Amino acid sequence: MKIKEICELIEQVAPLSYQEGYDNAGLIIGNKETEVSKILLALDTTEKVIDEAIALQCNLIVAHHPIIFKGLKKINGNNEIEKVVIKAIKHDIAIYVAHTNLDNVLKRGVSTKFAQKLNLVNCRILAPKSNLLVKLNINVPNSHVEQIKNILFENGAGQIGNYSECSFGLEGNATFKGNEGTNPFIGEPNKREHISEIKLEFITPAHLVSLLLSKAKAAHPYEEMAYEIVPVSNELQEVGSGVIGELPEEMSAEAFLGHLKISMKLEVIKFTNFDKPIKKVAVCGGSGSFLTSVAIKNQADVFVTADFKYHDFFDAENKLMLCDIGHFESEISTLEIFYEIITEKFINFAVIFCKTNTNPVKYFK
């Protein structure tokens, strides 16, 4: 098995196009054509994690946080990032990262795993993203409509929320004239022909367009397939920041804090006072303070994330309880997501959880 197979597998769940503009997800170090021996799963890639990979003979690290965010102008080993890069290359260890692209998906996303740990139900994206969808329109002769539709459905077109195989067809009359040397589907060169066609319309994620067009062109009877790609501003309900759901049963604020501490295996929780029952819960793995107003708007009783600053806690305005559980603690379950994705496809392959604790924050008890 090659590294590119692992990359493609993870990117089926978390396409790279879903990452934030500042991010650097994907294969950061290594060659996609390299054969994989073993995989080490980690939240961060530090020198000690590289050492662990060397000891375990793992030549691929799959991590959540990128070791490189910005371009490196020098690699002299003068800081932690440079030391990691040098050691990884020296020992032929590849590093693959799924960061905000994995944060931003509902199915198997970081915040969804967080919500599952808390036993939340009726989960959905807290802040869905827009401008990630397009309408793909393809003109197809009546004889090939079902064939083209089935091919596009099989490759991800027409998925809207809980519905699949969604399309719209508009019948019309098309004209064309083939020039000399063409091989038109019907008619003769240099003669205007009329034919009945269906304009098929599909809503699809923008990152699938190239694949869908190549599949459609391969099956289409015309030499030149008529199509158009129209950007739409609809929100993509399965992609965005944070997750909101509900507890199976209402809890007091104190009971919820206990539930949160046990479920996420926490040493400490920073929180704001709240004297109302807890039912609707919003969560976001990592730094999610920017979603506080969204959680309030969605009438969450509590918002759980990490990295609140002192003044951020005032934003609760007694409208909900804010809980800061720590960045590491809110995202460490990402390793479980990687494990599930890889081992479901490659059942007997060696996928190992990193034992090195990369959390830079310590607690004095």
Which CATH number covers residue 36? Answer: 3.40.1390.30
pLDDT digits (tens, 9 = 90+) for 277-327: 999 999 999 999 999 999 999 999 999 999 999 999 999 998 999 999 999
Res 187: pLDDT? 59
The rounded distance, in Å, linking the Cα atoms of 358 and 47 is: 10
pLDDT mean over 141-145: 93
Q: What is the pLDDT of residue 182?
A: 60
pTM of the prediction? 0.89
Q: Which domain holds residue 339?
A: 3-98+333-353
At 184 the pLDDT is 54
| 302-306: strand order across its sheet | 121-130, 235-251, 278-287, 302-306, 321-324, 270-271
Q: Amino acid identity of 271?
A: F
- Mean pLDDT value across the chain: 94
- CA 269 vs. chain centroid, Å, equals 27
Examine the domain organization and report whether 119 and 247 are in the same domain: yes
Q: Are residues 267 and 309 in the same domain?
A: yes
Confidence at residue 186, expressed as pLDDT on a 0 to 100 scale? 57
User: Is 361 part of any domain?
Assistant: no
**Per-residue pLDDT tens over the stretch 108-141:** 999 999 999 999 999 999 999 998 999 999 999 9
Residues 52 and 195 in one domain: no
Gap between the Cα atoms of 168 and 181, Å rounded: 34
Same domain, 117 and 139: no
In a domain, 212, yes or no: yes
Mean pLDDT of 33-54: 98
Which residues have C-beta within 8 Å of that of residue 314, sequence separation ≥ 6? none
The answer to whether position 365 is within a domain reads no
CA 305, 310, 315: angle at the middle one, nearest 5? 70
115 with 142, same domain?
no
Q: What is the pLDDT of residue 203?
A: 94
Q: What pLDDT score was predicted for residue 183?
A: 59
Cα torsion angle, 334, 328, 43, 73, sign: positive
pLDDT at 239 exceeding the cut of 60: yes
* Model pLDDT, residue 195: 85
- 193 with 273, same domain? no
pLDDT tens-digit map of 208-234:
999 999 999 999 998 889 999 999 998
pLDDT digits (tens, 9 = 90+) for 65-92: 999 988 888 999 999 999 999 999 999 9
Q: What does the pLDDT read at residue 191?
A: 76
The predicted structure's pLDDT at residue 189:
66
Q: Are residues 44 and 12 located together in one domain of the fold? A: yes
CATH number for 197: 3.30.70.120
